[in-house]
Amino acid sequence: MKKSIILLLIMASGFQPAFSQISNEKIEAFRTSVLPQYKVYFSSADLSSGGQLTLTAAENYISLSKDGRTTVMDKIVKSWQESLVIVAYGTIRELWGHNDANGRAVLIDIWDRDQKPVAGKVPATQSNVSRHPFFMYGGFQEQIDSHKNINFGFNARTGFFMLRDRWDLAASFSGFMMGNLDSENPTTQLSLGLSSKVYFPIKAYRISPNIGGELAWTSFNFEEDATSSVSPYLLGGISWYVGNGSFDVGVRSGKQTMVLIGYTFIPRLNSAR
């Protein structure tokens, strides 16, 4: 119960500047143009002290299944984008918002103002900052010509987000091989490192430019000579979110520069948003 109240207060305070600008004309327009379409489910619409739209539910809404309520609220949250939406019936309160990932309404929290247990309570959704989803990235390039000369490179990263969609930390593994398939001593380079990137999401286009750095131990083999060193690298690129991850185009620049194209798999991407 305390978590629910804290969550509600945080959200209310975060949206307060926007709510202060909501005019009486907007709520009146909602009552006139939208509410009559759903009068079988809601008897009234008002603004809470925090500026959130509050709908008083009728029996027909209360008797709906969770999927049925989501279907109704899909249209409500699309019609009212000024704030989150509270649905009230008796002492029960539901907090609804919009899921940017799938475009549907999402039930953020449900609580009883009298602190009584609610049957089938939906756990409060974690904040973006508190989630640390795991991810795996793989990218490679390959070129071979008619003379059997080969140029092959790869890059892999695995880690987690320290700030959801904003900042990650990962272990990296990369390398390349260059030479001829008939040669016994191709030129090779292997690199192990620790990297971190900061992301700048543009949700409207589902893309996220990013920039970061990497500190890597590198082993270089040329013919029969081998050397190793620790070097910093600059990382930059752009991610395009598709499915449970993103297509990535990036540049790794330091002693050598590599341009890589790959895919980052984030298992809990859609469920966490």
Same domain, 78 and 161: no
Q: Which pLDDT does position 99 carry in this prediction?
A: 81
With cut-offs at 50, 70 and 90, classify the pLDDT of residue 268: low
Mean pLDDT of 71-88: 89
Q: Are strands 134-144 and 149-163 parallel, antiparallel or unpaired?
A: antiparallel
Same domain, 108 and 138: no
Asked if the structure places residue 228 within a domain, the reply is: yes
Average pLDDT, the chain: 80
- Which pair of structure tokens corresponds to residue 192? 């192990």
Same domain, 27 and 94: yes
- The proportion of the chain whose per-residue pLDDT surpasses 90, expressed as a percent, equals 31
With cut-offs at 50, 70 and 90, classify the pLDDT of residue 244: confident
SS3 243: coil
Q: How many CA atoms lie within 13 A of 71 on its CB side?
A: 7
Asked if the structure places residue 104 within a domain, the reply is: yes
Cα–Cα distance for residue pair 27/34, rounded to 1 Å: 10
What residues pair up with 139 in beta bridges, in sequence order?
155, 262
Cα–Cα distance for residue pair 44/98, rounded to 1 Å: 21
What sign for the dihedral angle of Cα 30, 35, 36, 37?
A: positive
pLDDT by residue (tens digit) across 193-243? Answer: 999 999 999 988 889 999 999 999 999 888 778 888 999 999 999 999 887
Same domain, 167 and 201: yes
Same domain, 147 and 34: no
Asked if the structure places residue 118 within a domain, the reply is: no
- Residue predicted with more confidence, 18 or 91: 91
Asked if the structure places residue 120 within a domain, the reply is: no
Same domain, 267 and 144: yes
- The proportion of the chain whose per-residue pLDDT surpasses 70, expressed as a percent, equals 82
Asked if the structure places residue 129 within a domain, the reply is: no
Q: Which pLDDT does position 193 carry in this prediction?
A: 94
Same domain, 138 and 91: no
Same domain, 260 and 149: yes
Cα–Cα distance for residue pair 64/73, rounded to 1 Å: 12
In this structure, are residues 15 and 50 in contact, taking their beta carbons and an 8 Å threshold?
yes
- Range of 236's domain? 134-272
Same domain, 151 and 107: no
- Residue predicted with more confidence, 273 or 258: 258
Q: What beta strand segments (E) does 72-224 contain?
A: 85-89, 92-98, 105-112, 134-144, 149-163, 167-180, 187-199, 207-222
What residues pair up with 250 in beta bridges, in sequence order?
237, 260
What is the number of domains present in the chain? 2
Cα–Cα distance for residue pair 4/233, rounded to 1 Å: 44
CATH of the domain at 261: 2.40.160.20
Cα–Cα distance for residue pair 65/93, rounded to 1 Å: 16
Q: What is the pTM of this model?
A: 0.46
Same domain, 90 and 154: no
Cα–Cα distance for residue pair 62/42, rounded to 1 Å: 10
